[in-house]
A and B are shown apart, each in its own frame.
Chain A
């Protein structure tokens, strides 16, 4: 079963971020950030704590209002006044560090809620689609489990299924494995790799350098609200140019 996207396909880049800025009081959290993401591209965003990685993702679907700049999804301007945000957000999946599952709903209903209330599928069609999405992330045994009955890794996979069930154009992950016990990380990263294999365009904020190196087509290094350096993972990790990136890699990789 495949649903139409809210935002039609285009030949150009899937996501265009132009001169995006965001401040919290005096603090410049995003400072004139521009970024273009091609269809099927997988981008890893790395950088020290507080550099604005989460804020960047949250400005893309306008959970956070940027102060200035533009965000385009295909030919649709997300930042336009009067943009149909609820329709656009269907097409931009977001996966949270701490899952944010609905604790009062079973796994199946966590996934099917938006299918019914946003897309307007019937109860039965939404159930089937939710179960398919949960099966795709390896949770075919857990349809009826409440979030509190699942491990962190399973909860995060429900979070991924909840976003994926809406058949988005773009998936964004904000440190999807940071809250997980080490032995559960691989399973969730495996799901993300599967999604890459199926051609999903993704922005992944991550502290897993091995994953960024292996899976990303491009690595973005952010510091103090700016994109300081970007490039192919082998270049970013092999020949970092800016001192700040070198410093950052030295601290996270312990070299």
Chain B
């Protein structure tokens, strides 16, 4: 038991590692915010474009979605970081990781939001169109709100799942939390920094799961 505490909850090591880890946490948070904003924004945009039902464009969107849902994020990151420079596009590690995860989240978000759009009752479109609203107006003022409300739970879950993957950025040596924790572990020859990182991840993501429950409740209305 004492041994367990020594390796996983070593107080002196914790105190020493904490400042660095908080730096790493800050990087993780920055990446997470960018990934969620860009990923859901792009996903929403693609879902809206898809609702024009312009066949050639939709084929491209579906290919994008399927590709980025199928390839592991780490592989995408490797491609962007190591392969893109050979065609003249060089992104720094931080940007590579953000772009990777934003694209992956966008693919999932598009699929989820699109499912929401198609699940909105056809009568809503008919009612709006019958009053003279155009297709885009109907989408924005009538359909989209209902669609997004319906998909808030899966969308939040997916956003959390993808954002947690910021840890893969350590593979291209971004100084995010996991990377900091593992180098601290090497320095102190003690895994406590990893325990601390796990606790910080917990503190970071639990509020979002709670927020998602609140949002779900907030957007519910009587029928």
Contacts and interface: CB of A to CB of B under 8 A. Distances in A.
Given A96-B127, A113-B141, A117-B141, A103 B132 contact: no
A162 interface: yes
A163 interface: yes
A89 B129 CA distance: 8
A163 B128 CA distance: 10
Range for the number of chain B residues in contact with chain A: 20 to 34
A187 to B, nearest CB: 21
A245 interface: no
B149 interface: yes
B149 to A, nearest CB: 7
A162 B128 CA distance: 10
A146 interface: yes
B165 interface: no
Contacts of B141: 113, 117
Contact of B221 (A63, A93, A113, A148): A148
A63 B129 contact: yes
A148 B222 contact: yes
A47 to B, nearest CB: 21
A159 B130 CA distance: 12
A117 B133 contact: yes
A230 to B, nearest CB: 25
B131 A102 contact: no
A162 B131 CA distance: 8
Contacts of A61: 130
B120 to A, nearest CB: 10
Given A86-B132, A104-B145, A117-B133, A146 B221 contact: yes
Given A104-B149, A146-B222, A148-B223, A114 B123 contact: no
Interface string B112-136: 0000000001011011111111100
A148 B146 CA distance: 14
Range for the number of chain A residues in contact with chain B: 20 to 34
Given A90-B131, A113-B131, A118-B131, A100 B221 contact: no
A114 B133 contact: yes
A87 B133 contact: no
A41 to B, nearest CB: 21
A114 B121 contact: no
A118 B133 contact: yes
B195 to A, nearest CB: 45
Contacts of B222: 146, 148-149
B142 interface: yes
A94 B121 CA distance: 17
Contacts of B146: 102-104
Contacts of B134: 86
B157 interface: no
Interface in B186-223: 221-223
Contacts of A147: 223
Nearest to A102: B142
A113 to B, nearest CB: 6
Interface of B: 121, 123-124, 126-134, 137, 141-142, 145-146, 149, 221-223
13 contacts: A63-B126, A63-B130, A89-B129, A89-B132, A100-B123, A102-B124, A102-B142, A103-B146, A113-B141, A117-B133, A117-B141, A146-B222, A148-B222
